[in-house]
Structure 1
Amino acid sequence: MMKSTANMFWSDINDIKRFSENTEDNKNKRTKKTASIILAGVQLMENYIKGLKNLSAYDASSIILSDANWIRNNEKTDFTDGYGNVVSAKIGSIYYIDFGKTFSDELAYFHHGLCIGKKDGKILIVPMTSGTKYFSSCYHPINNPTASKKYRQALMSEGFEKDCILKLNDTKFISPGRIDKETVSINSDIVEQIQEQVFGIQFPELYQKFYNSLKKIDKYEKQISDQKELVSRLKQENNTLRMKSRKFENNIDIKE
């Protein structure tokens, strides 16, 4: 959201790149004794203020709150509610999340996201956006099944707070410290559909192998079912023939 402008300066910032190299000397050097880093910090703050002045109140406040949230919570390992209670993130729940700074076409700062997985203390989130301009062109298994699946329509009728868009190609693991609050939960059947769609978007070749395997399983299960039916029919025919054979043998015995 923030753009570099002609009245911003970067010389002091460019000068400290050498300190970012992974060396023991840089790791042991203290910033307060390194004047060039302090100067770079001051220059960054000046550029930061200049950039904020060119933004809307919404964008500027989102940036400030996100940066403040990072300073206060970057070591946080749990999601806590407004009373400081630790809350376990749940698959299928929607959270209001601070996605922080991002690059072009990545969802940044405060947006909602749907939790579709958890692993080793991280939460797998599908970012959500209103995106009214391209909502009609997004995929939905019923309303728009032929559209590209990188975005999915999320509907109020499916349990979402409003009609919006799931950015499946932006799915990512996040730290619980990025969660601001929980809103609503989505039906497990809808979540499973979204999980499978994310699988297809993130790993298309692997998903195709998985899909082909499912088709083979269906084919083989049909063959097994047909063979079982054939065996059952043959058993019935065999039993019928046995009964006829015994009856025939009994008739011969009587005549003799």
Structure 2
Amino acid sequence: MKEQNSDTQKDRNFDDLAERFSRTIYATPRGQLRLMALEQDFSDCEVDIAGKQVLDIGGGQGQFSLSLAKQGAAINLCDISGEMLRLANDLFSAEGQRLTARSGSLQDVESLFPGQFDIVLNHAVLEWLEHPFEALPVLASKVKPGGWLSLMFYNLYGHQWRQIMNGRTHAPESANPRLRKEGNAPQHPLNPDDIESAMTDLGFELTRWRGIRCVHDHMHQKIRERIGQDAVNRSDLETGLKEPHRRLGRYVHFLLRKTQ
């Protein structure tokens, strides 16, 4: 996972936040909901996993890749953060799964992992890039014809709605000043319609569009506690596939098939 710093124009390394991400994202209901949504999309779209070569670009700690490894896929993962790679190796080792992990950014991926892959993952990376649309041809080039690209990104519409609900009606597209200062707020929420159009131009067909955390993030915590996390998850997984609600998810997941 990486970020472009607007002052230095260099990729931000998340070594200092790796443990925090583990505690505050992946080990929380919202992180578990993210994994459930991804797993459901792969299952619903009948993505063939066993024996396939997977490339996880900016894969961080590799939680979703681990689920694919358990289904028989060979996982290749790169990340700019050495600490993230350490956590990924520890996670795979603890589960008895093999992982090929190398240090580097999205821009380095061709030299790190030459060739094309059956499945390419790019989750929560684009929104940290200074020029995210320039990364899309790189991602496209790594997918075999007929292969899959799993693309998850921070959603502009969900971000705007959340900001308005938090009272920032004067600046719905900006980031929370405190989170911006701390460096763990995505700086470039993305318009899913623009991403879909760009990927179509690159020879991909959109098979699944899901909003993630459409319900969870917009429901008051006291209500979530009253109805229970299982009910919240069921509603989120259902609502995330329906218009117009899927457009309010904090994240969007696109599952795309390469047709050219």
Q: TM-score, normalised by structure 1?
A: 0.21
Name the structure, 1 or 2, with higher relative contact order (CA <8 Å, separation 6+): 2
Q: TM-score, normalised by structure 2?
A: 0.21
